[in-house]
């Protein structure tokens, strides 16, 4: 059984993370802004418990953001350098775990869909089989 990792981020750092999340996920006519769904709270903690290697990255960004008056995406990229993609992944993962966000997208979540109920487009699509067609036939001859 895996040991539960505790996320220990102080309030100031978490507020910095929240500011960055609102820069990355400011909301639209359809989607709420990140802080409106508390993505910087328990949802982010779930992401960080799932992959503890992300916590130092998120923490570093939150600490930097907490000390900065104005934040832009360019600032975040400058602070984080090669860790920008991992930071953005973690923050987006937390956001899209929100029930409100999934409802806004009309995403029903994962569920059982028996193959017998699949439409032809769900079974085969040109994009799905293109690599196989491009590769050409391959087979292993049977021994004689």
Model confidence, pTM = 0.74
The model's pLDDT over 39-59, given as tens digits with 9 standing for 90+, comes to 999 999 999 999 999 999 999
Instruction: In whole angstroms, give the CA distance from residue 98 to residue 34.
Output: 9
Whether the CB-CB separation of 94 and 44 falls below 8 Å is answered with yes
pLDDT above 50 (res 1): no
What Rg, from alpha-carbon coordinates, does the chain have?
21
Output the pLDDT for position 3: 59
Q: Bin 67: left if φ > 0, else alpha if -120 < ψ < 50, else beta.
A: alpha
Among 94, 107, 118, 82, residue whose Cα is nearest residue 40: 94
Residues in the chain: 144
Tens-digit pLDDT profile for residues 83-115? 999 999 999 999 999 999 999 999 988 888 788
| pLDDT higher than threshold 70 for residue 24 | yes
> Which residues, at least 6 apart from 81, have a Cβ–Cβ distance to it below 8 Å?
none
d(CA 32, CA 104): 8
Q: What is the mean pLDDT of the chain?
A: 90
In this structure, of 35-49, 52-66, 130-144, the range with the lowest mean pLDDT score is 130-144
């Amino acid at each position: 059984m895996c040991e539960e990792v505790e996320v220990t981020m102080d309030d100031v750092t978490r507020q910095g993370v929240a500011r960055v999340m609102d820069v990355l996920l400011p909301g639209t006519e359809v989607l709420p802004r990140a802080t409106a769904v508390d993505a910087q709270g328990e949802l982010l903690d779930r992401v960080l418990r799932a992959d503890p290697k992300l916590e130092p990255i998120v923490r570093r960004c939150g600490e930097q953001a907490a000390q900065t008056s104005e934040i832009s995406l360019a600032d975040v990229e400058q602070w984080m350098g090669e860790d920008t993609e991992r930071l953005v992944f973690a923050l987006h993962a937390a956001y899209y775990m929100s029930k409100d966000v999934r409802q806004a997208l009309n995403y029903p979540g994962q569920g059982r869909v028996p193959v017998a109920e699949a439409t032809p487009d769900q079974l085969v699509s040109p994009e799905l089989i293109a690599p196989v067609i491009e590769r050409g036939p391959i087979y292993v001859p049977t021994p004689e």
